[in-house]
Amino acid sequence: MHAGLNLLALALVPFAFATPLAKRAVAYYAPTAGGGSELDNAGSGGGEPLNVIISGLSSPEVLTDDGIVNFAHALGYSRECLDIHSGAPQTANLGDGNGWVDQLIEIREDYGSSSIGTCLESLVGGNHFRVWRQNGTSADSGALFLAVSKEEDLSEHHTIVANGYNIGRNLLVSAALGTTSAGDYTYSTTAENVTGLIAAGSTGVNHGIAQDGIVTVLTVTIV
């Protein structure tokens, strides 16, 4: 009798472990709610606004390191010229318990060539963005936070153009909306403008350039 009960209990154990509770998916968590900031640390006494979020509700493949690079290709952006990065990486605190961490990657407008186009961007300027992932134990959305801006050319030391944070965000969002494709993937992207994550104005913003306080949340679905 006891042996039969023990066998029944053992039979139920794998079933219990095979059906864990599903984690609730969220688009993102506000960094400030966890002690973070919607401004990164540019290392010069100011920060760049994290003005675009790739929602955690996007297709999971998009939210990986390779996934965001391929999505960037679909929008006309690529890795930095020859994978060479000058200067120290910027850091961000997404309020997820990880504290201030280095950017994952920096991606630049490629002017139609994914192999060498970003070398041209380094010379003549253009749009670019830095990426962080919100994946700490206290706020694990998986969302990607992007600091997007349009910059001057090399002779101007890549400073941000006037109104460059708003312009950079809008250019990236415009390229992303609707259907795009790169490699073996086709993407369908929707956007929502969110206020309240960052105050409008220039307080604390790198170069003292005012921004409008709008963060655009992109939901990217592989179709």
What range does the domain containing 99 cover?
27-222
69-123 pLDDT per residue, tens = 999 999 999 887 755 545 578 999 999 999 999 999 999 888 776 666 567 666 6
Q: Is residue 3 assigned to a domain?
A: no
Q: Are strands 105-109 and 77-79 parallel, antiparallel or unpaired?
A: antiparallel
> In whole angstroms, what is the distance from residue 132 CA to residue 123 CA?
25
pLDDT of residue 188: 98
Q: Is residue 13 assigned to a domain?
A: no
Judge whether 211 and 203 are in contact, CB under 8 Å: no
17-73 pLDDT per residue, tens = 333 333 448 999 999 999 999 999 998 789 999 999 999 999 999 999 999 999 999
pLDDT of residue 115: 62
Q: Is residue 181 assigned to a domain?
A: yes
Q: Is residue 170 assigned to a domain?
A: yes
Q: Name the band, by pLDDT with cuts 50, 70 and 90, for residue 163.
A: very high
pTM for this one? 0.85
pLDDT of residue 197: 98
pLDDT of residue 87: 58
Q: Name the band, by pLDDT with cuts 50, 70 and 90, for residue 11.
A: very low
φ, ψ of residue 135 to 5 degrees: the values are -140, 20
168-219 pLDDT per residue, tens = 999 999 999 999 999 999 999 999 999 999 999 999 999 999 999 999 999 9
pLDDT of residue 159: 77
Q: Is residue 11 assigned to a domain?
A: no
Q: Is residue 183 assigned to a domain?
A: yes
Q: Is residue 218 assigned to a domain?
A: yes
> In whole angstroms, what is the distance from residue 108 CA to residue 102 CA?
17
129-159 pLDDT per residue, tens = 999 999 999 999 999 999 999 987 665 555 7
Q: Is residue 163 assigned to a domain?
A: yes
Q: How many CB atoms lie within 10 A of CB 97?
A: 16
Q: How many domains does the chain have?
A: 1
Q: How far is CA 34 from CA 15, 30, 56, 69, 171, in A?
A: 36, 7, 17, 28, 30
